[in-house]
Structure formats: C-alpha cells, structure tokens
C-alpha cells in the first residue's frame, strides 16, 4: 500500500476543472494525493454505462482503491463541458446515475459522491 492518504476523482479532461477539484478534494477529505481518472464528459459516460470506457474507468478506480487504499471516489461534471454539452439539470441527472453505477462496482470505499464545477470554476457538492 502507498504512503499517504489517497482519494480518487473521475474528472473531465478539461484542464479548467483540474486545479479547483484537486484542491477541494484535498481540503474536504484531508488527502495527501488524488488519483485522477479523466475522460471527456465522464458523467455522461458513466450514466450511459458505455461498456469499453466504463470498464476502463472501473479498472483504474480499482487500481486506486486496491494499490493506493483510496477510500473516497468523486465524479465530476462542469459548466461548459465540450464532452457532454448539456444544461446543468441534465448533468445533475447524469451525476446521479454515475454515482449509482460506481456504487454497483462494490469497491472498498467509504464514500462516493458527485460534484459540480460552476461557471466560476468553484466546486459545489451534489447530494446524491
């Protein structure tokens, strides 16, 4: 097992989300490191359970939880997403389904949640 406290984020590849999400996760969950899994529009991918891509995300999350001992997984959606260009309401529906999908993987974590990164690049916790 790795040294330090790890978390896992399934984030959009959009570089604008990386820094605010990383900072928020470290502060909120008192983490030393955040394993980052990126895809374009991951909320949509996980909501639709796109086989190949979802399996790839799942495999990487499994590495994070097993090799690094991550106990928290956060899935991200954000304003102005090119990979999933829908309104916030649709993103929130996708996030809810994405969290359900991740929970079905039965990974050894204590907490799975979702966040929204708004137009000011600030993180908002989504209750799912």
Q: Give residues with Cβ within 8 angstroms of 57, minimum separation 6.
A: 10, 37, 39, 42, 45, 46
Mean pLDDT, residues 38-60 taken together: 94
The structural domain count of the chain equals: 1
Indicate which CATH number applies to the domain containing 67.
3.40.1050.10
In a domain, 86, yes or no: yes
**Structure confidence by residue, pLDDT tens digits, 63-99:** 999 999 999 999 999 999 999 999 999 999 999 999 9
In a domain, 1, yes or no: no
In a domain, 28, yes or no: yes
Residue environment code for 53-92, b if the CB has 16+ CB neighbours within 10 A, otherwise e: ebeebbebbeebbeebebbbbbbbbbbebebbeeeeeebb
Cα 60 to Cα 117: distance, rounded to the nearest angstrom: 23
């Amino acid at each position: 097992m790795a040294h330090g406290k790890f978390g896992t984020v399934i984030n959009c590849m959009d570089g604008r989300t990386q820094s605010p999400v990383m900072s928020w996760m470290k502060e909120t969950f008192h983490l030393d490191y955040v394993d980052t899994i990126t895809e374009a529009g991951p909320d949509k991918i996980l909501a639709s359970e796109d086989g190949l891509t979802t399996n790839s995300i799942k495999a990487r999350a499994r590495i994070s939880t097993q090799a690094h001992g991550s106990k928290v997984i956060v899935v991200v959606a954000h304003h102005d997403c090119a990979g999933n260009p829908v309104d916030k309401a649709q993103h929130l529906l996708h996030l809810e389904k994405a969290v359900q999908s991740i929970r079905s993987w039965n990974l050894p974590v204590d907490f799975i949640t979702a966040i929204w990164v708004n137009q000011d690049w600030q993180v908002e916790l989504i209750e799912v």
